[in-house]
Amino acid sequence: MIIQKTAIVGMGALGLLYGEQIQKTLGKDHLCFVMDSARYQRHKAETYTINGVPQDFTLLDASQATPVDLVIVATKASGLAAAMDVMAGLVAEHTIIISVMNGISSEQFLAERFGDRNLVYCVAIGMDAMRDGHSLSYVNQGKLQIGILKEEQQPALTALCQFLNRVGLAYTVEDDILHALWGKFLLNVGINQTCMVYETTYAGALNTPHIFATMSAAMHEVITIAEKEGIHLTEQDFEQYITVLRTLKPDGYPSMRQDALARRMSEVELFAGTVLQLAAKHQVPTPANAFFYQRIQELEAGYSKRYNT
C-alpha cells in the first residue's frame, strides 16, 4: 500500500507541524484537516502561518469526508471522543491510523472504535512547536517513534515508514513501543506540569534547582508506577529525556504552559490525574504529582473564561 491522501484531525501545534511538512513535500491535494461542522464554519476562512509563512491548507467538514489512506489524530485528550466521531467518514478497511496525542491510552480507545489491524502506535518527541492563535513557530521538528504490538499490523507499519521517508519526517521504529509510550509520559508528567505550575520555560525548569527537584520527583514517581504496570523505565530513561529537553529552544515552553497563558483547561487529568489513579491502584505515594494536581486545579479554577480551540 502507498499512502497518498492524509487527513489530520486537530489543528493544534502538532497537527499544524506535520501538516506543513506533508503538504510542502507532497502538495495540497494530498492533505486535509477535518473537523466538525461548527469548527469548520469558525475556521474555514482563517489563515495559518508557520514560522512566519502563510499556509494554504484544505479544511473539510466531516460531513463531507471520504476515506483516506492515513489519519493522524492530533487533538487534546479531552477531544478524543469527538475526534473519533469526526474520523468516522475517513476510515475504511485500508486506512492506517496513528495518534500523536499525549498520554498512554489513546491507541486503546481508537482500537475499540476502529479496530487495530491498521493501528500503528506512535510517540511524538523532541519538538518545540508553540502555537499562538493562528501562528505556529518551531525550531526543532523532533521525531516520531513508531511500532506495533501484533504481526498483522506489519503491513501498516511498512506503509507508514515508506510515507515518512517520502515526506521527510524523522522517525525510529521501536521494538518496544509501549516502553517508548511510557517514556514520553514520563517526560510530559515532568516538563509539562512543571512549566505550567512554576510559570517557566524549558531553561527555567532545567536550571533552577528547586524547580528541577520537583520535576525530577514527579518523573521518578512515574518510574515507580510504570514498574508496577509491567513497564521497565529506568534512571537511564530519566537521563535520556532530560537530555532531550536540553536540545529544545531554551525560552520555549510546552503545551500546558501555553494552555495556562491562553487560560485554556490543561491536560492535567492525563498526567498527574493518571499518576494518582495508578498510585491508588498500586498503593504507592506520589506527593510531587499530588502537588502538581492540586496546584493546577487551583490555577484553572481561577480562569474567568474557559474555552476550547
Of 141, 175, 209, the residue that ends a domain is 175
How far does CA 47 lie from the centroid of its chain?
23
Residues 170 and 184 both lie in one domain: no
**Position 167 pLDDT exceeds 90:** yes
**Position 307 pLDDT exceeds 90:** no
What is the share, in percent, of the chain residues with pLDDT greater than 90?
A: 89
Please state, in angstroms and rounded to a whole number, the distance separating the CA atoms of residues 176 and 230.
12
The total of other beta-carbon atoms located within 10 Å of residue 37's CB is: 12
Give me the CATH number covering residue 219. Answer: 1.10.1040.10
Residue 196: what residue type? M
130 part of a folded domain: yes
| CA-closest candidate to residue 211, choices 225, 199, 229 | 199
| CA-closest candidate to residue 148, choices 186, 114, 117 | 117
Residues 166 and 213 both lie in one domain: no
Give the per-residue SS3 of 92-130.
CCCCEEEECCCCCCHHHHHHHHHCCCCECEEEEEEECCE
Average pLDDT, the chain: 95
* pLDDT the model gives residue 308: 43
**Position 306 pLDDT exceeds 80:** no
Residues 159 and 241 both lie in one domain: no
Retrieve residue 271's grid coordinates.
Answer: 498526567
Give me the CATH number covering residue 160. Answer: 3.40.50.720
- Tens digits of residue pLDDT in 215-232: 999 999 999 999 999 999
Please state, in angstroms and rounded to a whole number, the distance separating the CA atoms of residues 142 and 6.
20
Residues 184 and 280 both lie in one domain: yes
Decide: 77 and 84 in contact? Cβ < 8 Å: no
Please state, in angstroms and rounded to a whole number, the distance separating the CA atoms of residues 14 and 39.
18
CA-CA-CA-CA dihedral for 237, 241, 242, 246, to nearest 10: 150
Decide: 188 and 102 in contact? Cβ < 8 Å: yes
CA-CA-CA-CA dihedral for 18, 21, 26, 31, to nearest 10: 30
Q: Rounded to 5 degrees, what are φ and ψ at 142?
A: 70, -160
- Tens digits of residue pLDDT in 258-304: 999 999 999 999 999 999 999 999 999 999 999 999 999 999 998 86
308 part of a folded domain: no
Residues 281 and 220 both lie in one domain: yes
45 part of a folded domain: yes
Residues 28 and 131 both lie in one domain: yes
**What is the average per-residue pLDDT within 182-192?**
96
Decide: 72 and 15 in contact? Cβ < 8 Å: yes
